[in-house]
Each structure stands twice: as C-alpha cells, then as structure tokens.
Amino acid sequence: MSEVHNVFISHRHEDDHHNANFKRLMDGKDVQIRDSSITSDRPNQARSPEYIKSAILAPRIQWAGKLVVIITPDTKNHDWVAWEIEYANKLPSDKLIIGVWAPGSAGCEEPEPLKRYADAIVPWDPAKILAAFNGERIFENAQGVPRLAQPIKRIGC
C-alpha cells in the first residue's frame, strides 16, 4: 500500500506545468500525492484578495500536511507564494514546509519566507522529496549539494 501525502503546491501560475511534472515525478514511487493547490486546470474565479486568502487558499493549506514550494527564478518575488508560506508557518508546527528546486532553477534565490521557515529544501529528486515528506531536514541546492546550516525550526508549545 502506498503512502498518502496531502500537499498544497505553492507556485506561480506561469509555472503550472511544474505541478503536473512534480506529481509525475512522484508517481510510481509507492506514494500517492493528493494536491489541493489552485492551477489553471482548477482555476479560482474570485477577485477579492482577502476572499481568495481566507475562503479559498487558507482551507486548502490547512487541509494539507505539507506545503510544497516549487522554486523557480520568479518565485522569490511572488506575493501569493510568500503569503502561502507565511500562512502555513502560522499553522500548527507539524505542518511541513518543503522547498523543491524546479528543473532549470539552479542559481536562483528562494523566497525570503521559505528561507526563514522551511523544514527542508531539496532538489528535483523523488528520494530526497520523500525523505523531506517524512521529516528529514535536508537543505541542498538545485544540484543536491548540501548548503550551510539552516536556522532552528519553529517549535510549538
């Protein structure tokens, strides 16, 4: 029986193709990815940013056990991605925040909130993604080279 992981994939809509590729990457690895994120396949028709945050994004992030942030060159400056990371960080500390370097993203910077709150940042490698899903604190660049020590993870009381 495969492991089931409920995830919300935080990304830019211009990077929707990475969501599908991410799920294909994990397919066949004895894991089932259940994704609650918003994509162009399942668009959000709302116009009010506050409504989108409170009624659409927040419940989906709450449902997910993991927030996966697809890191691309433009993710760093994307306000919605930053909000999703900040929101996930405010939830119970057992919610994992995992950055995954998209193919072709070597050398780009990750969003500031991801730098502060990530439980792991891993390359586009299913074994390392699964390790991060299972709570391993892995911090590597896009090529899989370990990075300098990261700040201590937030702890709930």
Report the chain (157 residues): mean pLDDT per 10 consecutive residues: 86 86 87 81 76 91 95 92 96 91 93 96 96 95 84 56
Look at residue 135 in the predicted model and tell me its pLDDT.
Answer: 93
* Short-list 154, 119, 114, CA closest to 135: 119
CATH of 3-40+49-133 given 3.40.720.10, 3.30.450.40, 2.60.120.580, 3.40.50.300: 3.40.50.300
pTM over 0.85: yes
- Give residue limits of the domains in the chain: 3-40+49-133
Look at residue 141 in the predicted model and tell me its pLDDT.
Answer: 95
Q: Is the dihedral of CA 61, 64, 69, 70 positive or negative?
A: negative
Look at residue 82 in the predicted model and tell me its pLDDT.
Answer: 96
Instruction: For 107-138, write each residue's pLDDT tens digit.
Output: 899 999 999 999 999 999 999 999 999 999 99
Structure token pair of residue 155 = 């702890």
Q: Are 120 and 132 in contact (CB under 8 A)?
A: yes
